[in-house]
A and B are shown apart, each in its own frame.
Chain A
């Protein structure tokens, strides 16, 4: 493939241009610098929120951006005291929506992915195509009909209204199918069946342990997707005691327009809310091997 795509120059020409100088140190410095500039750009807002959360409301708009102050603890206490600890309730809600939602999603996706990868049955191709089409459905476009339908059964403005629509993940199923196909050998399943093991046992004891690394990735994907989905809870929830952190903080920012003291609360809240997720990311780093085109690359 590469040969047809890239017309190659005669190798002799190439050799004369670089062969004499060898690997140049200049390029290594340049590429290091470019990458570090990228890293600095990505760290800038995080560094800013670290510094800004140490400032009092007065200092926020008066001292230089990156001059730290000493009010971090006061800010955290003020935020915690806001309406009886509402902020921490938002954090707990977020953990519930994203954590429980992603866990349920992994179970559903693992089952479906395993079923699709390891069995042949009538309608398999149709089901897989429907799920693939589901990957491309703009999720947020669903939010309004989902709201109207849940309203008819009286489930809007409850935990269920955010949790239930978050469980189904066509992309998670697609990934789980790839992992099941790649990591669970057919002869192991066949041997287990010959030994008389039931399907539930085969799935829980044999298939799932083999799929674990892939399932962690599915979990992370869905966790981020739920925690990132702003429109769904924004539409579904009216009671601010049910809000996830994103909806809660953007509401606080709205209030900041009329009472600037709120800005400090928003900034401190932003810092506290990203700490757990960043920790989770660093801990589970090795699972972020995102091979989107896995099916294609293998062939």
Chain B
């Protein structure tokens, strides 16, 4: 009895504190680089600078509470509204096409009747290794009529090619870069889920004479639905945050304004106009919209996406 007491006591003591020790670095960093910035952005979004007199000299510019003024200004700013509409359109073009193709490619990879699967899988996934800035650089050059092979081909046939960087098409030009960078990753996510399906599940259907398309539609797609939901969610969040692609393409065309996407407007307000208050308010609006969309969407599909974890 007396021999056993010390280790048990030590175990209980270390057991009580151990989880907090494990979590301490993560929670500290979380507090400093996530919670604190969010709190600070909230604080700034309700502040503004009051200029007295000519705004010269010490004390002429004082920070005061602004209530919801910054929010009101952001929400009624035509630049902001335009950027939101643009990004919504961009998402409507990009996300369904990207996930549709990702699902199609994943199903084809999973089908034994397809040849060259290893090569295709690696090739389609490869763009994920290329950062958005470099991807935009590469595609940006491919969009230039003097460099692009597409224009060369169109020219040889004698057709007039549309200028992909014109204001009418530039949204598709940017969406194509997003598609190129994202389709492979989403394909791998769905493919991983497909491989987890026990093969007995569709061997029986195959013996009954079900076609590959029927098996895909009735067995495989329902099983990978949770993955599809999550890829959809992550794609939506990424769409709202589009920044690197339009910023990189800007030097190549004059059709991308400095407020093309909501985040570009935040950047312009904060650093070109030195109005961190309205930039903060706009960031908060974007974050709230992201949350609202994510949670709204998850609520809609909750039952099927997440079963309660027990561990």
Contact = CB atoms under 8 A, between A and B. Distances in A.
A140 B113 contact: no
A144 interface: yes
Interface residues of B, number: 118
Interface string B231-250: 10010010011011001100
Contacts of A281: 125-126, 128-129
B122 interface: yes
Contacts of B50: none
B49 interface: no
Interface string A117-140: 101010010010011001011111
Q: Which of A144, A228, A277 has the most CB of B within 10 A?
A: A144
Contacts of B307: 295-296, 299
Could you tell me the dominant secondary structure of chain A's interface residues? helix
A23 B213 CA distance: 12
Contacts, number: 323
Nearest to B136: A250
Interface string B258-278: 000001001100110000100
B217 interface: yes
A36 B116 CA distance: 8
A115 B230 contact: no
B129 A65 contact: no
A11 interface: yes
Contact of A145 (B38, B104, B183, B223): B38
A115 B305 CA distance: 25
Contacts of B129: 224, 274, 277-278, 280-281
Contacts of A196: 7
Q: Which of B16, B113, B148 has the most CB of A within 10 A?
A: B113
Given A38-B183, A281-B128, A288-B188, 5 more contacts: A6-B217, A31-B114, A170-B34, A230-B133, A246-B134
7 contacts: A31-B114, A34-B104, A35-B116, A42-B126, A119-B22, A137-B38, A281-B128
